[in-house]
Structure 1
Amino acid sequence: MAAAGSPTPATRETPWPVGLMSEKIAAWIDRLGQVWIEGEITQWQLRGGHVYGKLKDLGQDATVSFTVWRSVAQRLTSDFAQGDRVVALVKPNFWVKGGTLTVQVFELSHVGLGELLERLERLRRQLQQEGLFDPSRKRPLPFLPGLIGLVTGRDSDAEKDVIRNATLRWPGVRFKLHYAAVQGDRAAGEVAAGIEALDRDPEVEVIVVARGGGDFQNLLPFSDERVVRAAASATTPLVSAIGHEADRPLLDEVADLRASTPTDAAKRIVPDVSEELAGIDQARARMSGRLGQLLAHETDRIAQLRGRPALAMPERIVDERAEELVRWVARGTELAERAVLERTAALAESRARLAALSPRATLERGYAIAQLRAADGSPGAVLRDPADAPAGTAIRLSLAGGRLAVTSAAAAEG
């Protein structure tokens, strides 16, 4: 007998309604709760901020539809696409009305290679936000480093390529080698230690980290945070020569220079001696040509100067100036004599006028100047009226020939 509240067992005579069966299926599935599942995304469609897709089993032919609501999709830290292998925290839901099974996704992340890529992408964004990839941090390489530090695998092709090609370009180049594992668990720590050791050496002027390519997983040590931060902290310019174009490790982003291969690194860190010698020869030829042109120009100028009359017959200038000097001397003498004669005549004329105006000339014509005579014999006032000299007055007469002392007599009448 069935328990109270339980539906009657389904029989041919008492079948369940479809809705009842669907509700039971939904109840059983709902009791499963949230579970982690793994699979491959075979469909990924974004509509209205929600994601609708399908997840396929990795080993057998089994597929389930899933839904990622907008609130969950906005929290996803990486991009997903068809073909990605993922793990998801889901809750199965059975839609009674449509009779379909879907799962609601609460968490989603890559696994395997996808997980590695997701982790690397997070590290890349973090380092980029810290400014470690900023072009302004990159330092120029020295033109000709005296000592090159090389971090590479022991007896590796990368070591031989760098040393051989650098030596061919500049035979006197010197290297300081630091051997490290370039793949595997020890690689990241040993490469970071090699960078730090060479950076501490004051003679090392540039550091090269070299590896001869490889697949993505072999190159993972060169994206390790320890290696990247060691390269970013180095004060010595650093060249990354990992040799893989498809998958660039993070070391390429932080290095001061990225070389496509170890051979390319050798070409970038030292100049080509033959090219430099050719450049010197060209510079020397240009200097010689320019100097030759300058000398030829100056020689022509000197020849032109020497061809001028002043330099061809310098005595001509002396003769011309001598004749001119003689003319000026004669002219000066003539002008001086004329000036003397003119001044002599003027002086004579002035003397004549002065003599004509002189009192002496009047005295020579028979006139005399009468002056009262003081008691001490000195001349006094000039007499102009006889009344000024009564009888007995001492008078001094000035004549043309000299002076006379006289005494006045009584004035005559009438």
Structure 2
Amino acid sequence: MNQSSPEQPFQVSYISQAIHDWVSRLGSAWVEGELTSYDIRGGHAYAKIRDLEQDASLSIVMWRSVRERLTEEFRKGDRVIINAKPDVWVKGGSLSLQVYDMRHVGLGTLLEQLERLRRKLADEGLFDASRKRRLPFLPNKIGLVTGRDSDAEKDVRRNSELRWPAVQFRTEYARVQGDNAAAEVLAAMQRLDADPEVDVIIIARGGGDFLHLLPFSDETLVRAAAAITTPLVSAIGHEADRPILDEVADLRASTPTDAAKRVVPDVAEQLDLVTQLRARIRRHVTELVRVESRRFEDLRSRPALANPSWIIDQRGDEVGRLATRGSELMDWHLRRASDEVSGLGHRLAALSPLGTLQRGYAIVERVDGAAPGLVTTTSGVEAGAKLNIRVTDGRIEATVE
């Protein structure tokens, strides 16, 4: 490299090209690490590989021709070995490894730990659908846990207020990446859960790579999220390798914007729905009145209601005939009963002792104290006995001589 001076400094492009030329002379090497990101764009693979023991990482690029030649599929979190050559992008001044071969070593250490934790929590039932709580239709106040001045906060608030301008928030700020992120998110979530005015809690973050999202798979945070009583929405904004918090939350939103749409109803949509329902009720009531009116007119047109007096005339004649018939039957029954009474009277008179007396017979009774009673023989009386002789029209008192 030529000498430079304040009077003759190098241009940035010269230095960048010099670094590129120097790095290009380095040979390829086999490197082991863990993929912390892995994206396919235009057939090419762009990723980051992390040292398994030290906190160091490098960007890697694998062109389509190389990727299509591989027989294995790769994803973020995989532990791999790569055959790569260092390369410097002159225009951007960034160092990356150009990959010529990639092979699996095994599941990444972090991902393996997360999978064990995920299975453990699932076995305990923390992911069961029966534990999921229904979100309120229109929350009185929304609790929001997010980073300070974050795009996630702006997305949630803006989309919520567009849907329902009167929506209220209580925001608790916390770190959303780094060593203390899980503890701060947990404390903020519990403060909101203790507020009786907060009806639902949203934990929002605008996505990120695998390492940045690790706090949202922290076991202490996940267990605390499962224990709160307020419905919880996880809006971490990451589709692949979902954080474990997504599994225990009552609702998982794909992005902070999606969380706002799922939690806050659209006032315009609700007003339109109310209008539609009112129109349906009006049509239903109108149709009901029309049907009942037609039924009422049908009833009015029937003879019984069109000319009510006909039934009185018709029934009056019938009542007259029945009254005459009843009188005739009553007279017949009375005559028959009278004849029966007369016959019974004659029979009674024939059987009565008076009938015998009328034929000249008499009933003789002894009335003194010796032997009172009916006298049927001459031996039943002696001289001086007092008798009572009953005839048809009275009694005769006599004494035997």
User: So what's the TM-score if we normalise by structure 2?
Assistant: 0.64
Match of 2:81 in 1: 83
Is it true that 1:218 corresponds to 2:212 in the alignment? yes
- Give the secondary-structure state (helix, strand or coil) at the position aligned to 2:81: coil
Q: What is the CA-CA distance between 1:145 and the residue it aligns to?
A: 1.2
User: In 2, Cα distance between the equivalents of 1:342 and 1:147?
Assistant: 97
Q: What is the CA-CA distance between 1:356 and the residue it aligns to?
A: 4.8
Q: Aligned to 2:247, which of 253, 273, 276? A: 253
Q: What is the CA-CA distance between 1:300 and the residue it aligns to?
A: 2.6
Which letter does structure 2 place at the counterpart of 1:290?
H
CA spacing shift, 1:230–1:81, aligned 2, 3 Å: closer
User: In 2, Cα distance between the equivalents of 1:294 and 1:146?
Assistant: 38
Is it true that 1:144 corresponds to 2:146 in the alignment? no
CA spacing shift, 1:355–1:162, aligned 2, 3 Å: closer
Which letter does structure 1 place at the counterpart of 2:164?
W
Q: Aligned to 1:206, which of 172, 186, 200? A: 200
User: In 2, Cα distance between the equivalents of 1:127 and 1:249?
Assistant: 13
Is it true that 1:297 corresponds to 2:291 in the alignment? yes
Which letter does structure 1 place at the counterpart of 2:81?
G
Q: What is the CA-CA distance between 1:262 and the residue it aligns to?
A: 0.8
Higher-Rg structure is 1
- Give the secondary-structure state (helix, strand or coil) at the position aligned to 1:83: strand
Which letter does structure 2 place at the counterpart of 1:369?
A
Q: Aligned to 2:257, which of 246, 250, 263? A: 263
User: In 2, Cα distance between the equivalents of 1:355 and 1:388?
Assistant: 30
User: In 1, Cα distance between the equivalents of 2:253 and 2:204?
Assistant: 9
Identity within the alignment, %: 55
Write out per-residue CA displacement over residues 206-238 of structure 1, whole angstroms, 9 at most, x where no aligned residue: 111111122223323323344334423332222
CA spacing shift, 1:393–1:185, aligned 2, 3 Å: closer
Q: For structure 1, which segment, 325-334 or 342-351, has the greater mean C-alpha deviation from structure 2 after superposition? A: 342-351
Q: What is the CA-CA distance between 1:291 and the residue it aligns to?
A: 2.2
Write out per-residue CA displacement over residues 376-404 of structure 1, whole angstroms, 9 at most, x where no aligned residue: 8999644567x888999877766556666
Which letter does structure 2 place at the counterpart of 1:83?
I
Q: Is this contact kept in 2: 1:84–1:114, CA < 8 A? A: no
CA spacing shift, 1:266–1:382, aligned 2, 3 Å: same
Q: What is the CA-CA distance between 1:162 and the residue it aligns to?
A: 0.6
User: In 2, Cα distance between the equivalents of 1:261 and 1:358?
Assistant: 122
Q: Where in structure 2 are the equivalents of 1:307-346 lying within 5 Å?
A: 307-346=301-340
Q: Is this contact kept in 1: 2:300–2:306, CA < 8 A? A: yes
Is it true that 1:40 corresponds to 2:41 in the alignment? no
- Give the secondary-structure state (helix, strand or coil) at the position aligned to 1:145: coil
- Give the secondary-structure state (helix, strand or coil) at the position aligned to 1:204: coil
Q: How many residues of Structure 1 are paired with residues of Structure 2 in the alignment?
A: 308
User: In 2, Cα distance between the equivalents of 1:215 and 1:408?
Assistant: 155
Q: For structure 1, which segment, 201-210 or 342-351, has the greater mean C-alpha deviation from structure 2 after superposition? A: 342-351
Return 5+ residue gaps in structure 1 as ranges.
1-37, 42-78, 86-108, 410-414
CA spacing shift, 1:405–1:235, aligned 2, 3 Å: closer
Q: Aligned to 1:181, which of 166, 175, 179? A: 175
Which letter does structure 1 place at the counterpart of 2:265?
P
User: So what's the TM-score if we normalise by structure 1?
Assistant: 0.62
User: In 1, Cα distance between the equivalents of 2:393 and 2:341?
Assistant: 26
User: In 1, Cα distance between the equivalents of 2:229 and 2:393?
Assistant: 124
Q: For structure 1, which segment, 387-396 or 302-311, has the greater mean C-alpha deviation from structure 2 after superposition? A: 387-396
Q: What is the CA-CA distance between 1:155 and the residue it aligns to?
A: 1.9
Return 5+ residue gaps in structure 2 as ranges.
1-29, 34-76, 84-104
Q: Is this contact kept in 2: 1:371–1:381, CA < 8 A? A: yes
Q: What is the CA-CA distance between 1:173 and the residue it aligns to?
A: 1.0
Write out per-residue CA displacement over residues 114-150 of structure 1, whole angstroms, 9 at most, x where no aligned residue: 4433443444444444443343333222221111111
Which letter does structure 2 place at the counterpart of 1:267?
K
Q: Is this contact kept in 2: 1:162–1:262, CA < 8 A? A: yes
